[in-house]
């Protein structure tokens, strides 16, 4: 059974930085990608970033390009989301997710990912 555990959330001022980590337990060789989504109160869960498990391709939503960096350490079964220049609009619960099926163009849809962590709160104060 695959389990994901996020850490690193917290309270930060505008312009600050946070680094989220995602530890994977029970990962299988069929893993194709790791991603991060976020959900603000009253809003739908939205795509933030994704990286192919092979490391070949990385994807970001436009809002975080140039500010966030996704990475993964395949040897340690861990992933990271470095978040810089944070803004109040970045406030949300951030979820780590893992895909074990074919990685296709619908990666930005939450329903296309199979495993999810419990989420970690990120709050950016103005």
Q: Can you give the pLDDT at residue 27?
A: 80
**CA within 13 Å, CB half, 45:** 17
* pLDDT single digits (tens) 48-61: 999 999 888 999 99
* pLDDT single digits (tens) 71-108: 999 899 999 999 999 999 999 999 999 999 888 889 99
Residue 42 — very low, low, confident or very high, per pLDDT cuts 50/70/90?
very high
Residue 29 — very low, low, confident or very high, per pLDDT cuts 50/70/90?
confident
């Amino acid at each position: 059974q695959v389990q994901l555990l996020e850490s690193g959330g917290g309270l930060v001022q505008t312009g600050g930085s946070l680094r989220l980590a995602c530890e994977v337990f029970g990962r299988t060789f069929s893993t194709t990608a790791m991603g991060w989504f976020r959900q603000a109160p009253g809003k739908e869960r939205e795509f933030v970033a994704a990286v192919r498990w092979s490391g070949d391709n990385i994807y970001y939503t436009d809002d975080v390009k140039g500010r966030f960096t996704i990475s993964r350490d395949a040897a340690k079964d861990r992933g990271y989301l470095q978040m810089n220049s944070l803004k109040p609009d970045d406030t949300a619960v951030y979820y780590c997710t893992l895909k074990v099926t074919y990685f296709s163009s619908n990666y930005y849809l939450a329903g296309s990912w199979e495993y999810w962590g419990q989420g970690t709160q990120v709050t950016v104060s103005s």
